Amino acid sequence: MAQFRLQGSKVLAVDLTGDAVKAKNGSMVAYEGDMTFKKMSGGGDGLRGMVTRRLTGEQMEVMEVKGHGTCYFADRATEINLVSLRGETLYVEASNLLAADSSLRTGTTFTGLRGASQGNGLFTTTVEGSGQAAIMSDGTAIVLRVTPSTPLQVDPGAYIAHTGKLKQHFQSGVNFRTFIGEGSGEAFQIRFEGEGLVYVQPSERTTFGGDV
């Protein structure tokens, strides 16, 4: 199995011994040894995945990297976080996924109203199976644990990924102030309930919810 490790906080090094990893197209910065790069059309989920991704706007430009040696990945100097999966499902935006073990299955899932407010569409990418994945964040991400007794509210623009059995719903604090342009800028939040981990970045995407 491919071994993921971080070289600093912005470069991901993957040791390969004849196996393969999926990575964002064009994110290789250097490699030692022999590597081949092959684009996987439609995010590497086959024809059905390709159609789904086209329809849902969760298109991923993914390549398969195969070979012997060490391959280094980085993307626009964003911070990289490693996630180890043991049978769970990771929910992450396609644009925040840097690399994943090729044994992990990727797919798309419907997120409901949350997606629209986050500024990243109604669908999100799922990664499931056993292995490692690398996700990107703007700034060093923090990992927050959610337990049944402590639900968590997150700004939609700062959310990047989550794992575990979590129920999410959208809550709004819109009141008359929002309509007269005196809103606090925190009119919308995603509420996570259940058991799991949420990854939050110290920066906010421009979202519809962030403006009000």
Question: Which residues are at the interface with another protein (CB under 8 A)?
Answer: 7-11, 25-33, 35-39, 41, 61, 63-64, 72, 74-77
Shortest reach from residue 118's CB to another protein, in Å: 25
Pick the closer one to another protein by CB: 42 or 131.
42
Shortest reach from residue 85's CB to another protein, in Å: 24
Pick the closer one to another protein by CB: 64 or 193.
64
Shortest reach from residue 89's CB to another protein, in Å: 27
Pick the closer one to another protein by CB: 30 or 143.
30
Shortest reach from residue 14's CB to another protein, in Å: 14
Shortest reach from residue 67's CB to another protein, in Å: 11
Contact yes or no for 64/87 (Cβ under 8 A): no
CA-to-CA separations, 85 to 97, 134, 179, 192, in angstroms, rounded: 14, 11, 43, 20
Query: For the CA atoms of the chain, what is the radius of gyration?
Result: 18
Pick the closer one to another protein by CB: 29 or 142.
29
Shortest reach from residue 9's CB to another protein, in Å: 7
Pick the closer one to another protein by CB: 40 or 152.
40
Pick the closer one to another protein by CB: 64 or 128.
64
